[in-house]
Amino acid sequence: MAELKGKRLGISNDGAMTGFIYRVLAKRMGWTPGKDITIVEQAQRFEDLKAGKADAFVADDRYMALARAEGYPVLADTSAWKQAIAGNGVRVEPDWIKDPKNRDIATRFLKATIEGMAIYMINREETLRVLAKYHGITDRAVANGIYEEGLKMTRNMAPCAQGFRDMFTLGYGGIDKYTPTDFYDESFIRELDRSGFIASAYKTAR
């Protein structure tokens, strides 16, 4: 990992989870982004790495599996860091969710997301079928690699409160005018948990 100093690291964009991860990486290594390491946005795909847009990249489960399949080394498995990341869940515009009529829409969308996560976590074959049909990933080894990486995700769909708190220690410009709770609402997931919906979704997915 130390050999990345002075090199180019590809991410999707600074406001995405890959942006969060590079900031955590820089903090762990004692690096100053822009000085010790160059951040290249829109260079988060395996194709970008092969094209030479960056020297390394923050990979999601899909692109990590593709890179591994072609023999590229994984410099760090960030799941081993046990770092909470402000990014899971369903994201909406703040003004939109303030409208009472949109609460039901958000709840139904969150239910569908939870049902999809339950299928992913429990039903490997259905997940591989979806990867092949909708993402064109027909190589069984690659598909299984993606699936195994995805299993590292938490089943808890609650907003990642610790991750949002950690944002305030990672050098985001202009963030001081906010508080962590400005970025998430835990009431939706609490209601679904109390109603038994989440437990039922995982039972049905079997």
Distance CA 112, CA 101 (A): 18
> pTM here?
0.86
Query: Count of domains in the chain?
Result: 2
For the beta sheet containing 56-57, the strands, ordered from the edge strand earlier in sequence to the opposite edge, are: 38-40, 8-10, 56-57
Tokens standing for 24?
């955590």
Residue 88 lies in a domain: no
Kindly state the average pLDDT of the residues 31-48: 95
133: how many CB neighbours lie within 10 A of its CB?
Answer: 10
102 within 8 A of 96, measured Cβ to Cβ: yes
Residue 156: band (very low, low, confident or very high) from pLDDT cuts 50, 70, 90: confident
Write out pLDDT tens, residues 105-132.
Answer: 999 999 999 999 999 999 999 999 999 9
Mean pLDDT of 176-180: 95
CA distance 153 to 176: 29
Whether residues 112 and 186 fall in one domain: yes
What was the pLDDT predicted at 93?
Answer: 92
Using the 8-state DSSP alphabet, how is residue 82 labeled? T
User: Which pLDDT band, with edges at 50, 70 and 90, does 89 fall under?
Assistant: confident
Give the count of beta carbons closer than 10 Å to the beta carbon of residue 93.
Answer: 8
CATH code: domain of residue 46:
3.40.190.10
Domain boundary among 81, 109, 142: 81
Does 111 lie in the same domain as 17? no
Which of the listed residues 30, 54, 81 is the one where a domain comes to its end? 81
pLDDT at 79: 86
Q: Where residue 87 falls among pLDDT bands split at 50, 70, 90? A: confident
Give per-residue pLDDT as tens, 66-83. Answer: 888 889 999 998 888 989
Average pLDDT over residues 54-58: 96
Q: What is the mean pLDDT of the chain?
A: 93
Residue 88, pLDDT above cutoff 80: no
Instruction: Identify whether residues 100 and 191 lie together within a single domain.
Output: yes
Residues 70 and 114 grouped into a single domain: no
* Segments forming the whole domain that contains residue 77: 2-81
Q: Are 64 and 107 in a shared domain?
A: no
111 with 193, same domain?
yes
Round to whole Å and give the CA distance between 179 and 77.
30
Is residue 138 within 8 Å of residue 104, measured between CB atoms?
Answer: no
Q: Mean pLDDT, to the nearest integer, of 13-42?
A: 95
